[in-house]
Chains A and B, each alone.
Chain A
Amino acid sequence: MSINNNENKSNINRQYALPERILLNVEKPARYTGGEINSVMKDKENVNVRFAMCFPDLYEIGMSHLGIQILYSMLNEKEDVWCERVYSPWSDLEKIMKEESIPLFALESQDPIKDFDFLGITLQYEMAYTNVLQILDLSQIPLHAEERGEEMPIVIGGGPCVYNPEPLADFFDLFYIGEGETVYFQLLDVYKDNKKNGGSRRDFLKAAAKVEGIYVPSLYEVSYNEDGTIKEFRPEEDAPEMVKKQVVTDLSAAHYPLKPVIPYVQATQDRAVLEIQRGCIRGCRFCQAGMIYRPLRTRSLETLKSYAKEIIKNTGYEELSLTSLSTSDYPEFAELMDFLVEEFKNKKVNISLPSLRIDEFALDVMSKVQDVKKSSLTFAPEAGTQRMRDVINKGITIEDIMYGSEMAFKGGWNKVKLYFMLGLPTEREDDVQGISDLAEQIAELYYDTVPKEQRSGKVQITVSTSFFIPKPFTPFQWEPMYQPNVYLDKAAFLNESIKAQLNKKSIKYNWHDAKTSVIEGLLARGDRRVGKIIEAVYKKGATFDAWTDHFDYDKWISAVEEQGEDVPGMDFYVYRRRGTDEILPWDFIDAGVTKNFMIREFENAKNEKVTLNCKESCSGCGARVFGGGICLSH
């Protein structure tokens, strides 16, 4: 033991934005210290653009998100761009940072976000909106875009929620509508040119508005009718009237992170992720993702095979998750699964398939890759009666469900999870009863299918219901929601009904929080004026609303109610039926799928008429304009 052994000590001592006395006093300090395997360090003196990419939720949630990994890896491939990451500090650290005025910092350099060129925030769910304000606030960036000086970062939003960005319009300089792989570098070039030419922030925003897919809210003016609906949505000067969503046409050629950042702290999704396709052929009428990601585009089988091998080699993960909507719709699914099972069977790598439609074939695959005894099967019939399933265009029948269940029971599963929605358009009491009856039928089927001596205990059926929330760019975007007590009555009715079933002991029932659902509804379809509500509730201390124990409904309602007459309330935004001729806040976005298609689908829903999926027949939704994916096969 000697004192002069400094040479032996590592020179790779990172400097942290937070002093040790803070790091040692917050939960999981490694959330804030960066330095993970595959994270990217650059010399800040040698880059032109510093980009902070933010997922406005806890590190463990944000690190589970594929989109950030794609953009992080893509942006860092450019030599003169350094993209870093930032997540929401948990409440313990938030408090300290506010007390001590410590500015929010990026994980890699530990430099303050306010010194960056860009702050990109992904908007994955509405209940993270107060966290967006928390990020800006902690970064010491003015909440309102119009109050930001020349030296402040350009704040840009992306992700599925930008299909109605209006509630956040005041807080963002730009929104990127659509898939990030397409015009980011074009946008950064515009930024660099503007900087080189000595242009102002305003000059840049105007130039950025000319990049396809970029929406600059400050260049648009909204006026309202006396009834509160939108009178006019008008671009200033030469900003485009419609902003066109960006779509990757050749997914196999698009950038993919083969060396994703591997968190030290265990992420919620602690596994390698392979996105096999984007979009969905199904056209469920409640599903926003199914509409906005149209058309379905697939990665080639050969690409996926090589990516799978490489990602597992580079990360050392013990699990590979195939991600997409409705995974078994992948055209060469059987070949892909055979390859993966063969490739990884001796390497102790599990394959997980989080989004499968349950049919015989899928079950066959599942039994190959999953441990039947431990895992449960998840079905999402979404509705309890055939009538209701036809209304929402969930193209499955009772026969499909019963056949799938029978196969599952014969395959050895005895745990089944069933997902439904309550409060769907046209829902009647018998539709709710239908959920209970379906659960009972499946329970009975188990006892009929599996002989007594082969049963390992009771069948366990878990019924979960969420409350239907109408979303922009869906055929149900004009529909009203119910008051929370009506939802709770529906849940109570279903609960009673399940308790009256013969196999009630085999059926467990969970339902979502109704109050969270109506606030999500408010944010999903709000207009610019809703920004005032979000700001008010943030100032009351609301953050992490997506976390059940943080969400405070009363704060939200009082924030809604204390607004002046120029901001309508819940009745207007949530509980009102909109007319199909009304100007909707998101009408300026060209998402491919046309309003005519959605009106047509809305009519089909009311007539309980099923629309064929994209593989069976083109329904003329409008996504064909992108000239890619499944549209080309018709």
Chain B
Amino acid sequence: MRIRIKFAKRDSVKYLGHLDIMRFFQRCFNRAEVKMEYSAGYNPHQKMSFAQPLGVGIISRGEYLDAEIADGQDLNEICQRLNGVCGDGFEVINVKAVEEGAKKAMAALQFASYEVNVRRLVPETDTANSSKSAYELLSETEELEPGSFNSFDKEISRAINDLFLEEHIYVSKTTKSGTREVDIRPQIIQLTYQEGFVYMMVTAGSDNNLKPDTLLSSLFAKTNIEYQKELITITREELYAEGFVPLDQFQCE
């Protein structure tokens, strides 16, 4: 039977690459003694596939992998056992059975939502009489001081509006076959900003994928704020099938 596993990738493992995570899950299944189905051939491997690789440095609350397992195993127990062996960096959120004949997660995938913490981009001058950045102050008080982000907030909100007014947003995309111009405007479904966080819903999947970094670059290009990648935190919130149905509710039982 095919199962769909929803898991979170936490901060402590955000530097792992996709291949590392695949190998990690293979061994988790072994340690959890899940009876897997294997491919035929000289070098049998577990039948598993991920909905969408996650970039290095990105954390997630909504990752998916499909796996073929032997029939007759209790899915709740598998979920518990996986959590028992996967360490602190990962959390298995749920394990569901995928309907007979349903698309694999990677084929069903159409949209992804991200939350981007851009608070650390707030320039130091926005904070009153302090050598600390606004972000540092925030992490101490854990409360937003009203008004301290005013100009920053306004700038990003304005840029989002400007972005939506564009009919086309061309970015150059480098692939194996060379560099070409791609219009990312149709790939942006939703883009909002609230108190230091950018939220986005974008198209995802093998042939229509928009990386959050690409969109953020275009967005910040429209502001007077310097886009410093290393100061932002991107969290993938959820992956969706058609109709914005989360993958764990799409053709799953």
Query: How many residues of chain A get a CB closer than 8 Å to chain B's CBs?
Result: 38
Q: Is the CB of A374 within 8 A of B10?
A: no
Question: How far, in whole Å, are A314 and B84 apart by their CA atoms in the complex?
Answer: 12
Chain A neighbourhood of B44, CB < 8 A: 348
Task: Tell me if A547 counts as interface (CB < 8 A to partner B).
Answer: no
In the complex, A3→B197 CA distance in Å? 8
Taking CB atoms, residues of chain A closer than 8 Å to B142 are 6
Residues of A within 8 A of B88 (CB): 10, 12, 35
Interface with B: A26-34, A149-157, A569-577, which one?
A: A26-34
- Docked pose: A19 CA to B115 CA in angstroms: 21
Q: Tell me whether B237 and A1 are in contact (CB under 8 A).
A: yes
Bound form: Cα–Cα A313–B17 in Å: 25
| Interface contact A264-B19, CB-CB below 8 Å | no
Q: State whether the Cβ of B163 lies closer than 8 Å to any Cβ in chain A.
A: no
Q: Looking at the complex, which of A315-323, A355-363, A457-465, A600-608 is the stretch in contact with chain B?
A: A315-323
Name the segment of B24-32, B146-154, B219-227 touching the other chain.
B24-32
* Residue-wise interface mask of A (297-326) relative to B, using a CB-CB cutoff of 8 A (1 in contact, 0 not): 000000000000000111111100000000
Q: Which of B17-74 contact A (CB under 8 A)?
A: 17, 19-20, 23-24, 26-31, 33, 38, 42-44, 56-57, 61
- A29 and B56 CA atoms in complex are apart in Å by 9
**Which residues of A, 8-51, contact B by the 8 Å Cβ criterion?**
8-10, 12-14, 19-21, 23-25, 28-30, 33, 35-37
Query: Does A30 lie within 8 Å of B26, measured CB to CB?
Result: no
Tell yes or no: B136 within 8 A of A by CB.
Answer: no
Task: Please tell me if the beta carbons of A29 and B30 are within 8 angstroms of each other in the complex.
Answer: no
Check A265/B20 contact, CB under 8 A, given A1-B115, A23-B15. Answer: yes
The answer to whether A28 touches B17, judged by C-beta atoms less than 8 angstroms apart, is yes
B230 and A21 within 8 A (CB): yes
Q: State how many angstroms separate the Cβ of A175 from the closest Cβ of chain B.
A: 35
Q: Whose C-beta in chain B lies nearest to the C-beta of A29?
A: B15
Chain B residues with CB below 8 A from A496, complex form: none
Query: Is B17 in contact with A14, judged by CB distance below 8 angstroms?
Result: no
Band of interface residues on B: 35 or more
A281 at the interface (CB under 8 A from B): no
Q: What mask results when residues 72 to 89 of chain B are scored 1 for a CB within 8 Å of chain A, else 0?
A: 000000000000010111
| Contact indicator B31/A313 (Cβ below 8 Å) | yes
- A264 x B199 contact (CB < 8 A): no
A315 CA to B85 CA, complexed, in Å? 9
- Give residues 160-217 of A contacting B (CB, 8 Å): none
Q: Which of B42, B194, B231 contacts A373 (CB 8 A)?
A: B42
Q: How many A-B pairs fall under 8 Å by CB?
A: 96
In the complex, the answer to whether B12 meets A13 with C-beta atoms within 8 Å is yes
B155 within 8 A of A: no
Decide yes or no whether A241 CB sits under 8 A from chain B. no
By beta carbon, the residue of chain B nearest A312 is B30
- Taken together as a complex, chains A and B put the C-alpha atoms of A315 and B87 apart, in Å, by 12
User: For the complex, what is the distance from the CA of A581 to the CA of B8, rounded to whole Å?
Assistant: 68
Q: Which of A329-380 contact B (CB under 8 A)?
A: 348, 371, 373-374
Q: Is the CB of B12 within 8 A of A266?
A: no
On whether the beta carbons of A318 and B10 are closer than 8 Å, the reply is no
In the bound assembly, the distance between CA atoms of A383 and B11 in angstroms comes to: 54
Complex contact B87–A30 (CB within 8 A): no
Q: Which positions 103-153 of chain B face chain A at CB distance < 8 Å?
A: 113, 115, 142
Distance from B53 Cβ to chain A, minimum over Cβ atoms (Å): 15
Q: How far is the CA of A29 from the CA of B115 in the complex (A)?
A: 23
B26 x A316 contact (CB < 8 A): yes
Question: For the complex, is A262 an interface residue (Cβ under 8 Å from B)?
Answer: yes
Check if B169 is an interface residue, CB within 8 A of chain A. no
Q: Say whether A20 contacts B26, CB under 8 Å.
A: no
Contact among A20, A312, A316, A318 for B57, CB-based, below 8 A? A20
User: Of B12, B24, B43, B228, which contacts A33 at CB under 8 A?
Assistant: B12
B159 at the interface (CB under 8 A from A): no
Q: How far is the CB of B19 from chain A (nearest CB, A)?
A: 7
- B38 engages A33 (CB within 8 Å): no
Closest residue on chain A to residue B8 by CB atoms = A10
What residues of chain B lie closer than 8 Å to A12, measured between beta carbons?
10-12, 88-89
| Contact assessment for A13 and B11 in the assembled complex, using a CB-CB cutoff below 8 Å | yes
B20-A264 in contact (CB<8A): yes
Q: Do residues B57 and A266 form an inter-chain contact, with CB atoms below 8 A?
A: no
Q: What's the nearest-Cβ distance from chain B to residue A77, in Å? A: 20
Closest A residue to B238 using CB positions: A1
Of all chain A residues, the one with the shortest Cβ separation from B235 is A9
Our pick among B27, B42, B115 for the contact of A262 (Cβ within 8 Å) is B27
Query: Which residues on B sit within 8 Å (CB–CB) of A9?
Result: 11
Complex contacts, B16 vs chain A, CB 8 Å: 30, 264-265
B57 touches A264 (CB 8 A): no
B216 contacts the other chain (CB 8 A) = no
Q: Any chain A CB within 8 A of the CB of B13? A: yes
Query: Would B115 and A30 count as touching, CB distance under 8 A?
Result: no
Q: Does B195 contact A (CB under 8 A)?
A: yes
Q: How far is it, in angstroms, between the C-alpha of A317 and the C-alpha of B24 when the chains are bound? A: 10
Q: Whole-angstrom distance between the alpha carbons of A151 and B194 in the complex?
A: 50
CB-CB under 8 A from B230, the residues of chain A are 19-21, 24-25
Q: How far is the CA of A316 from the CA of B11 in the complex (A)?
A: 24
Tell me whether B158 is interfacial, beta carbon within 8 Å.
no
Distance (Å) between the CB of B113 and the closest chain A CB? 7
CA distance A270 to B38 in the complex (A): 20
Contact A315 B27 (CB under 8 A): yes
What's the nearest-Cβ distance from chain A to residue B144, in Å? Answer: 8
How far in angstroms is the closest Cβ of chain B from A374? 6
* A265: chain B residues within 8 A (beta carbon): 16, 20
Contact among B26, B85, B113 for A318, CB-based, below 8 A: B26
Question: Smallest distance from the beta carbon of B152 to chain A beta carbons, Å?
Answer: 15
A56 to B19, CA, bound (A): 25
- The residues of A that contact B43 with a CB separation of less than 8 Å are 371, 374
Partner of A314 from the list B12, B31, B56 (CB cut-off 8 Å) is B31
Q: In the assembled complex, which residues on chain A have CB atoms less than 8 Å from the CB atom of B173? A: none
C-alpha spacing A13/B117, complex, angstroms: 16
Q: Which residues of chain A are near B57, meaning CB under 8 Å?
A: 20, 23-24
Q: Which residues of A contact B23 (CB under 8 A)?
A: 266, 270
Give chain A residues whose Cβ lies under 8 Å from the Cβ of B29.
Answer: 316
Distance of A264 Cα from B28 Cα, bound (Å): 12
Task: Give CA–CA (A10, B90) in the complex, Å.
Answer: 10
Check B31–A315 contact: CB distance below 8 A: yes
Which residue of chain B has its CB nearest to the CB of A28?
B17
Out of A8, A14, A33, A316, name the residue touching B27 (CB < 8 Å). Answer: A316
B229 located at the interface, meaning its Cβ lies under 8 Å from any Cβ of chain A in the complex: yes
A24 lies within 8 A of B38 (CB): no
Q: Are B31 and A10 in contact (CB under 8 A)?
A: no
User: B49 to chain A: closest CB distance in Å?
Assistant: 18
Residues in chain B near residue A315, CB distance under 8 A = 27, 30-31
Extra contacts besides A1-B113, A30-B20 (8): CB < 8 Å: A3-B194, A13-B10, A14-B11, A24-B57, A28-B17, A37-B85, A313-B33, A318-B30
Binding site for B on A (CB under 8 A): 1, 3, 6, 8-10, 12-14, 19-21, 23-25, 28-30, 33, 35-37, 262, 264-266, 270, 312-318, 348, 371, 373-374
- Shortest 3 CB-CB contacts between residues of A and residues of B: A316-B30, A316-B27, A21-B230
Chain B residues within 8 Å of A, Cβ to Cβ: 8, 10-13, 15-17, 19-20, 23-24, 26-31, 33, 38, 42-44, 56-57, 61, 85, 87-89, 91, 113, 115, 142, 194-197, 199, 228-231, 237
- Chain A to chain B contacts (Cβ below 8 Å), 13 pairs: A10-B8, A12-B88, A14-B12, A21-B231, A23-B15, A30-B13, A36-B87, A37-B85, A262-B27, A264-B20, A266-B19, A315-B27, A371-B43
